[in-house]
């Protein structure tokens, strides 16, 4: 009997959150309407925003089509909301959390969410995150640059301690920290340059720093790195070369499969084992079907590990919808 299949990497914006972005007069903000709606961002070039892509009913239909029982969504850290000054971040975060909580309730729990933190707060958002965890959010998403340096780990310590104490997982997605300098890609570069080149570099910085320092400091905290931690499986040999010894990856470190195809998955499985890879599709940014077909081609053992058993470990489930 098939167990619950859970996708740990999707994004879904409630109407109230989009409206809150539209009320702003500087990035990150939304302007225009309907099919002409666009995002203006501070850390990367903006682009079109499709409200239909964030329709909850449409999302449930996509889950059904992919035979995905539940999805855990997050705010999308590249937008930079968590890195805004506290007075600017708070109303946006409230709109996101309140809207997603309502969507989750209407979905019968098939759509759940990682909370987001106001990193500019004196406690790096720990108090607000604790409240959201009590309300039913499954864990926390953080932008990768917040964890990319020892100083960043120190700054985020209050929220990381709160998360570990609650026994909830951390999702690390490419994105800026409050101290990241805005440097959008040159307009001569294609639109895909930032997600292809900048996101992986951000992710790798966080992954290497966490593996060197964070995992030991928070030994029971389960951490999922998006987009295969920026290509970490390919660099595992380099890790061992410069680290000076072979080191088994920490059992509490997981990498998600967003944008992977079969060769990428085979490399990740060879580098870290089937137990550390989890399903992440990055809907609505990426069409999930190539990834789902690749997983199916790798056979039922891999498919069950990646989509069922490992997400259950991340979320500390005993079975059933999160």
Q: What is the pLDDT of residue 183?
A: 87
Residues contacting 318, CB < 8 A, separation 6+: 312
Residue 236, both tokens? 């595992």
Distance CA 253, CA 188 (A): 37
Dihedrals phi, psi of 80, to nearest 5 degrees = 95, 15
CA atoms within 13 A on the CB side of 43: 23
Q: What is the pLDDT of residue 240?
A: 86
Q: How far apart are the first and last CA of the chain?
A: 18
Q: What is the pLDDT of residue 248?
A: 75
Q: What is the pLDDT of residue 320?
A: 43
Distance CA 80, CA 174 (A): 10
Distance CA 322, CA 70 (A): 7
Q: What is the pLDDT of residue 246?
A: 63
Q: What is the pLDDT of residue 247?
A: 67
CA atoms within 13 A on the CB side of 107: 28
Give the DSSP letter of residue 178: T
Positions of the chain with pLDDT lower than 70, given as ranges = 1-2, 245-247, 317-322
What's the pLDDT tens digit per position in 96-136? Answer: 999 999 999 999 999 999 999 999 999 999 999 999 999 99
Distance CA 322, CA 311 (A): 10
Label residue 187 exposed, middle or buried (CB < 10 Å: 0-12, 13-18, 19+): exposed
Q: What is the pLDDT of residue 224?
A: 98
- Sheet hosting strand 139-143, strand order edge to edge: 6-11, 70-74, 111-116, 139-143, 170-173, 223-225, 253-256, 277-278
Q: What is the pLDDT of residue 231?
A: 96
Q: pTM surpassing 0.75?
A: yes
Rounded to an integer, what is the distance from CA 164 to the centroid of its chain? 17
Dump strand ranges (E) for 185-279: 223-225, 253-256, 277-278
Q: What is the largest CA-CA distance in the chain?
A: 55
Q: What is the pLDDT of residue 319?
A: 42
Residue of 319, 236, 291, 318 whose CA lies nearest to 9: 291
């Amino acid at each position: 009997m098939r167990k619950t299949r859970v996708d740990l990497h999707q994004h879904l914006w409630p109407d109230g959150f989009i409206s809150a972005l539209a009320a702003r007069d500087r990035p990150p903000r939304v302007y225009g309407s309907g099919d002409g709606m666009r995002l203006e961002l501070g850390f990367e070039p903006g682009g079109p925003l499709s409200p239909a892509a964030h329709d909850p009913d449409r999302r449930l239909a996509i889950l059904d089509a992919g035979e995905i029982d539940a999805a855990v969504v997050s705010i999308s850290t590249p937008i930079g909301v968590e890195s805004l000054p506290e007075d600017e971040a708070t109303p946006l975060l409230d709109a996101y959390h309140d809207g997603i909580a309502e969507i989750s309730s209407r979905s019968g729990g098939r759509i759940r969410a990682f909370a987001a933190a106001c990193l500019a707060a004196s406690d790096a958002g720990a108090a607000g995150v604790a409240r959201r965890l009590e309300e039913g959010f499954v864990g926390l998403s953080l932008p990768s640059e917040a964890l990319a340096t020892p100083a960043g780990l120190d700054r985020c310590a209050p929220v990381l301690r709160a998360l570990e104490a609650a026994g909830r997982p951390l999702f690390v997605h490419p994105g800026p920290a409050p101290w990241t300098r805005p440097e959008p890609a040159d307009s001569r570069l294609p639109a895909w340059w930032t997600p292809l080149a900048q996101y992986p570099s951000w992710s790798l910085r966080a992954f290497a720093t966490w593996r060197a320092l964070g995992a030991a400091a928070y030994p029971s905290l389960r951490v999922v790195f998006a987009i295969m931690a920026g290509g970490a499986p390919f660099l595992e040999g380099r890790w061992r070369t410069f680290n000076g010894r072979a080191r088994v990856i920490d059992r509490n470190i997981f990498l998600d499969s967003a944008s992977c195809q079969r060769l990428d998955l085979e490399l990740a499985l060879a580098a870290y084992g089937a137990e550390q890879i989890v399903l992440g599709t990055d809907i609505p940014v990426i069409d999930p079907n190539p990834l789902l077909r690749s997983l199916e081609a790798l056979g039922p053992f891999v498919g069950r590990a990646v989509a069922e058993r490992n997400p259950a470990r991340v979320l500390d489930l005993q079975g059933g919808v999160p």
